[in-house]
């Protein structure tokens, strides 16, 4: 009897020790840009220890250079990242082995903006005007599609590469319109400076809706660590659902972790614009809708932005089945 009791106590001790010795999986997530309202759900999940509950020790870093995010993931220097559907498709077409595994923002934030005082409110109004863009080639294809949709002549446009000084260039009236600016960010920045804007949404002018922000990992990580991938997606989904229910609290938390980099006035207004988009993701935050993904991919093929033989089905994986 004493031997049996001793055996039980030893067994319990061994189990307890082995459990305490288990470490959470260290995971690095690289943002697409500096921390802002788009990322609020991530920090809510950190604050509420949702990642820890799912055995993940998450580190979040903004990119030193946003253009390198997908290559960091492909090389294994980062485990996961946030980026954009168009850019992922372009990267896959160049052989970069990255995969979308969750939809964060299921609608374009990219837009055409003009000053309210200009009365330029639709693509046709832009004929013979100067358009500032950030030097991203596929933005020109988007602009051309929008012009064609409004029976406008895109050959009359004077398209100027202004880098990322989009808002400043518009306010200085060096251009009549800009494309490549987020209507959840730049429009708020300009409004706070006393300039109201007109927003021309691409998905209202024949550009198929696409995922502005997605969660990305490498093909290798997806294959080798499927359980961690699922736990990360579940954690993020829970964090964003909490941000949806308490958007201003999510910005409080965002500021707590990024006090020096958050523009509070912009992000408090921005999160209110983002919440309806987060809610509109098939009622399953993080899911990727196959029809939407393929429709936009077909548009990119029709614009000769990606190869016609790119196997788009291999560029994403939908995890709706774990989010229900």
For residues 132 and 225, state if they share a domain: no
Q: Is the dihedral of CA 204, 206, 209, 212 positive or negative?
A: negative
Enter the pTM of the model. 0.92
For residues 137 and 261, state if they share a domain: no
For residues 171 and 301, state if they share a domain: no
Q: Is the pLDDT of residue 293 over 50?
A: yes
* Per-residue model confidence (pLDDT) at position 283: 73
For residues 167 and 232, state if they share a domain: no
Per-residue pLDDT band at 22 (split at 50, 70, 90):
low
Residue 5 lies in a domain: no
For residues 254 and 182, state if they share a domain: no
Number of domains in the chain: 2
Show the tokens assigned to 142: 């988007």
Show the tokens assigned to 171: 């306010």
For residues 219 and 183, state if they share a domain: no
For residues 81 and 214, state if they share a domain: yes
* Per-residue model confidence (pLDDT) at position 23: 86
**CA distance linking residue 39 with residue 104, whole number of Å:** 9
* Per-residue model confidence (pLDDT) at position 282: 67
Residue 250 lies in a domain: yes
For residues 51 and 170, state if they share a domain: no
**CA distance linking residue 257 with residue 209, whole number of Å:** 32
For residues 96 and 134, state if they share a domain: no
Across 127-273, the runs of DSSP E, i.e. the strands, are 130-133, 158-161, 177-182, 197-200, 213-218
Residue 9 lies in a domain: no
The domain boundary, picked from 151, 174, 204, lies at 204
* Per-residue model confidence (pLDDT) at position 108: 98
For residues 221 and 265, state if they share a domain: yes
For residues 216 and 194, state if they share a domain: no
Predicted confidence (pLDDT) per residue in 83-138, tens digit: 999 999 999 999 999 999 999 999 999 999 999 999 999 999 999 999 999 999 99
* Per-residue model confidence (pLDDT) at position 280: 84
Query: What is the span of the domain harbouring residue 246?
Result: 24-107+210-322
What mean pLDDT do residues 291-318 have? 98
* Per-residue model confidence (pLDDT) at position 83: 98
Domain harbouring 185, CATH code: 3.40.190.10
Per-residue pLDDT band at 324 (split at 50, 70, 90):
confident
Q: Is the pLDDT of residue 281 over 90?
A: no
| Mutual angle of helices 247-257 and 40-47, in 10-degree steps | 80
* Per-residue model confidence (pLDDT) at position 85: 98
Q: List for the chain the helix, strand, coil content (%; round to 5).
A: 50, 15, 30
Q: Are 96 and 315 in contact (CB under 8 A)?
A: no
Residue 4 lies in a domain: no
Predicted confidence (pLDDT) per residue in 180-214, tens digit: 999 999 999 999 999 999 999 999 999 999 999 99
* Per-residue model confidence (pLDDT) at position 14: 42
CB atoms inside a 10 Å sphere around CB 264: 12
The domain boundary, picked from 204, 226, 246, lies at 204
Residue 6 lies in a domain: no
* Per-residue model confidence (pLDDT) at position 12: 45
Residue 79 lies in a domain: yes
For residues 85 and 223, state if they share a domain: yes
Q: Is the pLDDT of residue 3 over 60?
A: no
Residue 1 lies in a domain: no
Query: Percent of the chain having pLDDT more than 90?
Result: 91
* Per-residue model confidence (pLDDT) at position 70: 98
Residue 12 lies in a domain: no
* Per-residue model confidence (pLDDT) at position 20: 41
The domain boundary, picked from 204, 235, 269, lies at 204
């Amino acid at each position: 009897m004493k031997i049996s009791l001793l055996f039980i106590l030893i067994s319990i001790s061994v189990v307890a020790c082995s459990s305490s010795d288990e470490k959470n999986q260290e995971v690095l997530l690289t943002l697409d840009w500096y921390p802002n309202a788009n990322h609020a759900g991530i920090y809510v999940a950190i604050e509420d220890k949702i990642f820890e509950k799912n055995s993940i020790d998450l580190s979040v870093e903004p990119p030193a250079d946003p253009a390198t995010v997908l290559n960091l993931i492909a090389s294994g220097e980062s485990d996961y990242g946030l980026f954009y559907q168009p850019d992922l498709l372009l990267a896959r077409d160049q052989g970069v082995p990255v995969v979308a595994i969750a939809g964060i923002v299921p609608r374009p934030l990219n837009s055409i903006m003009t000053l309210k005082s200009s009365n330029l409110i639709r693509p046709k109004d832009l004929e013979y005007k100067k358009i500032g863009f950030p030097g991203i080639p596929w933005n020109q294809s988007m602009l051309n599609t929008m012009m064609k949709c409004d029976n406008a002549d895109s050959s009359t446009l004077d398209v100027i590469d202004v880098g990322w000084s989009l808002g400043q260039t518009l306010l200085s009236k060096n251009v009549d319109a800009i494309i490549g600016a987020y209507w959840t960010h730049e429009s708020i920045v300009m409004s706070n400076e006393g300039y109201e804007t007109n927003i021309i949404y691409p998905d209202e002018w024949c550009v198929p809706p696409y995922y502005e922000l997605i969660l990305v990992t490498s093909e290798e990580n997806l294959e080798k660590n499927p359980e961690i991938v699922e736990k990360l997606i579940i954690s993020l989904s829970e964090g964003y659902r909490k941000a949806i229910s308490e958007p201003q609290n999510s910005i409080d938390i965002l500021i707590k972790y990024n006090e020096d980099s958050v523009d509070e006035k912009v992000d408090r207004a921005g999160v209110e614009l983002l919440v309806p988009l987060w809610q509109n993701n098939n009622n399953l935050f993080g899911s990727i809708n196959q029809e939407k993904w393929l429709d936009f991919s077909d548009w990119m093929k029709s614009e000769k932005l990606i190869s016609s033989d790119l196997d788009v089905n291999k560029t994403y994986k939908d995890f709706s089945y774990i989010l229900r």
